[in-house]
Structure 1
């Protein structure tokens, strides 16, 4: 085990079955003939954040619970094949899985199997403390075992980030994550008033920056110093084929900038570039932008060479 990790990723491992459908929403029919077909691969939110960070050159360790099953074997192979350090804890209910319906325009609808989780699921405290002790930052997925790890990460003095995904701003389940992280990502899709929710997170929690992603509209930043600030989207370099993993890629790019000491707007630009790249990768693929490509696109987008990432 490396003596120092840039980022410890907690939770978010699993397997997705990708189903390509002719349109979303999918009208009812007895059956559909679909191409390119149905394929199962490892990769859920924590897996893709770890992949994105590793591709950007950050030393990353992923900790999560998975099952002793064929799906768990896919998760193990994912980390092994991409050179990501992975510590697994047995998950009695079996490896988490989902079905993603993907339309021709790249939009997706995810169906998560919630039967794998148990109230008793926990990440061992000693293990969390050990890994936190050799890490600079922790990115915490909003899975049940991870909420119990938050106090241990605070105790270790780590900065923390989390992605609330499609939080509606009201569901209390998300609040420990929202108020316990220094960097908070959230999709604006289900927020009736994104700015109000972002300000509440700043006021009630420990967040220094809140980022609301808005897909093709870009993202919005809010810090204690003011805002919100709109960061425009970045046009993908290729055809948009799938939005799976775009939010995870955005988080990876943003954290790359933050750990390099960049200002929030530059971090959001990095996130936008990484997210745009992810939209050009088929749902069955596992590819993330690397540091050279990201920094090159940032220079092309802004015309300035700042942000070499030397602090990461």
Structure 2
């Protein structure tokens, strides 16, 4: 079960980042791609053969219709509530190497809530919950803990200081975040999440530098997981972190150990970079084959 985080990305391709200061910059075709973090995780997990439902609040607008259409095509069970603020949007600048800069319009009002009688029956029939860091999602934690269902979250580029992310960081069993937010302090932040919260595992993704994994019983030094090599040229990093989450969760829900889960995440994340707009969704056969080739042909010095 994925809660929150659907929306539509407007992709603008530029030669380089940052873009030059100019009144007008000529770009290639500007495209709209439904997804965002929750939608991407739901679609990616479904492509891996997991049965997935997404609960979210979206607008009764043309962007919301795009979200509905893509999730339906991806065979994701989607249960939306209508938000008067409309569907979340982002404008993402993507350079020639696939790097991106995102301008995110969250839209949701601070008092937006998801009714208990809407989500609780659905939570009772799920074996894992992934909460996007939408404000309304934090109010599900008490019921999730009461049900005893494991929960994961992605803090994205949290710097360890912003209050919005802290409850998600400390009340989730499995925490993902980007190393970019905390910079050189990422290891200390990972340790803090484990020490102060309930997480058993924290994973920090670092793009081309791979990822770092720290567990409650695995020592104080994060284990480094090298990045996987994309099977085709990288054209767009939108959704790569979400794909990593999908690969990791697939491994977790199929009984693999955390290091193998992280390797699967790396393979899925690399694959996601090979097509525009988070549309490269890896299938389980390709995921496992690529990981077998990778694990037999590489050595992790860490």
Deviation at 1:207, TM superposition (A): 0.2
Deviation at 1:152, TM superposition (A): 1.6
How far apart are the structure 2 equivalents of 1:41 and 1:234? 25
Deviation at 1:224, TM superposition (A): 1.2
Question: Partner residue of 1:130?
Answer: 121
Question: Partner residue of 1:15?
Answer: 8
Question: Partner residue of 2:199?
Answer: 207
Alignment of 1:113-262 (within 5 A): 113-114=105-106, 116-191=107-182, 192-225=184-217, 226=219, 227-262=221-256
Deviation at 1:242, TM superposition (A): 0.6
How far apart are the structure 2 equivalents of 1:16 and 1:302? 34
Does the aligned pair in 2 maintain the 1:128–1:152 contact within 8 Å? no
* Structure 1 runs (4+) greater than 4 angstroms displaced: none
More deviation in 144-153 or 50-59? 144-153
2:59 to 58, 63, 67: 67
How far apart are the structure 2 equivalents of 1:102 and 1:290? 25
> Structure 1, residues 246-273: CA drift from partner, whole Å, max 9, x if none?
0000000001101111111100000000
> Structure 1, residues 121-140: CA drift from partner, whole Å, max 9, x if none?
11111222111100000000
Does the aligned pair in 2 maintain the 1:129–1:156 contact within 8 Å? no
More deviation in 221-230 or 96-105? 221-230
Q: Does structure 1 residue 301 correspond to structure 2 residue 294?
A: yes
> Structure 1, residues 12-43: CA drift from partner, whole Å, max 9, x if none?
010111111121001101111111x1011211
How far apart are the structure 2 equivalents of 1:39 and 1:279? 16
Does the aligned pair in 1 maintain the 2:274–2:280 contact within 8 Å? no
How far apart are the structure 2 equivalents of 1:264 and 1:10? 23
How far apart are the structure 1 equivalents of 2:212 and 2:58? 34
How far apart are the structure 2 equivalents of 1:145 and 1:286? 27
How far apart are the structure 1 equivalents of 2:211 and 2:40? 20
How far apart are the structure 2 equivalents of 1:106 and 1:157? 40
Alignment of 1:55-134 (within 5 A): 55-114=47-106, 116-134=107-125
Deviation at 1:119, TM superposition (A): 1.6
How far apart are the structure 1 equivalents of 2:296 and 2:21? 49
More deviation in 94-103 or 116-125? 116-125
Does the aligned pair in 2 maintain the 1:61–1:85 contact within 8 Å? yes
Unmatched tracts of structure 2, length 5 or more: 298-302
Question: Partner residue of 1:31?
Answer: 24
Aligned to 2:233, the other structure's residue is in SS state: coil
Deviation at 1:301, TM superposition (A): 1.0
Does the aligned pair in 1 maintain the 2:41–2:246 contact within 8 Å? yes
Aligned to 2:103, the other structure's residue is in SS state: strand
Higher helix proportion, which one? 2
C-alpha root-mean-square deviation of aligned residues, in Å?
A: 1.1
1:269 to 259, 263, 287: 263
Aligned to 1:89, the other structure's residue is in SS state: strand
How far apart are the structure 2 equivalents of 1:121 and 1:194? 31
2:43 to 37, 43, 51: 51
